[in-house]
Amino acid sequence: GLFCHATLDWDEEVLAALPIARDQLAPIVDADRPFRGLRREFAQRLPALQDVPWFPALGDGACSNLGCGGVTPDRPALMVGTSGALRSLRTTGEPRAPFGLWCYRVDRRRYLIGGALSNAGNLYAWLRRTLRLPDDDDALEAALAALPPDGHGLTLLPFLAGERSPGWRGDARAAIAGLSWATEPIHLLRAGLEAVAHRFALIHTLLRPGLPAEHEPIATGGGLLASPVWQQIMADAIGRPLWISAEPEASSRGAALMALESAGILPAVEAARFRFVARRDPDPEAHRRYLAARERQAQLYERLLGPLDAG
């Protein structure tokens, strides 16, 4: 983009190649540089906010990491909402994204490296609706839990909305292989949840060289917090313990913590307390099965979309 992560300034080389002058771009401000005061018409309507500091807006993804506790390299945040993302917050090293992933700044001290999925909680919702599965969440969770890992014989590419990380194939579409007379709707749902977990596991593999050996991701986002079965699938697919955040609105909390830090009320976001409701430990046998299932998914991907080009 136009912004250089290394210099924290507009990239002069990129600007020189474009019909854009520096004075056409907004000034760059950091999260701890608030604005004060309101225009007269707003001050008259909102007098109580006239002298309140207004901090620069932050991205939803960055705030999600900050709010759930994904604030150190050993605690990457795995978020499943409508879409999904796995992000690692760093303060040292060069802010450069590995193949298939992205990198962006939180502030002058912090940056995020990660990958995103267009198909996550929305896939779960689509499968439940389309397959007309029971509305009873507890009954559905019990039915999913009764199925063994990768016991359905299905291989699924979950690209109803195209692919983001790591292949960035917007033209990709979903595919299912292995259907038989024995396939039931609950098998398709479990296969869908596992397929999304395999995509997260692939992103995790690309992130792993920059993570501490003993890292333990944090799960956040309504799509994942609502399903203990999916939480366990994620832990088994990735092969690392997964901490389940107790914060239902991680992004809102992250924005509040950054404001407290910027205002000098909190010494640092990292000093905040972060709560968890459970830890899902991976099952070695399930992880072994999922490694084989992920390889089948990779083979189906290559047959339909071509090789994943690492450049």
Per-residue pLDDT of 211-226, as tens digits, reads 999 999 999 999 999 9
CA distance 95 to 111: 7
The closest of 120, 123, 127 to 187, measured between CA atoms, is: 127
C-alpha–C-alpha distance, residues 6 and 179, integer Å: 50
Percent of all residues in the chain with a pLDDT value above 90, rounded to a whole number: 93
Secondary structure of residue 105 in the 3-state scheme: strand
Which pTM was predicted? Answer: 0.94
The position carrying tokens 């620069």 is: 56
Strands 111-117 and 155-157: unpaired
Measured between alpha carbons, how far is 244 from 238 in angstroms, rounded to an integer? 15
Q: CA 237, 175, 147, 124 torsion: positive or negative? A: positive
Report DSSP state, residue 141: H
First to last CA, the chain: 20
Average of per-residue pLDDT values in the chain: 96
Query: Rounded to an integer, what distance in angstroms lies between the CA atom of residue 268 and that of residue 257?
Result: 8
Q: What is the pLDDT of residues 263-282, one digit of tens each?
A: 999 999 999 999 999 999 99
Q: Which residues of 39-48 are buried (b: 16+ CB within 10 A; e: fewer)?
A: eeeeeeeeee
Domains along the sequence of the chain with CATH: 58-311 (3.30.420.40)
Q: DSSP assignment, residue 267?
A: S
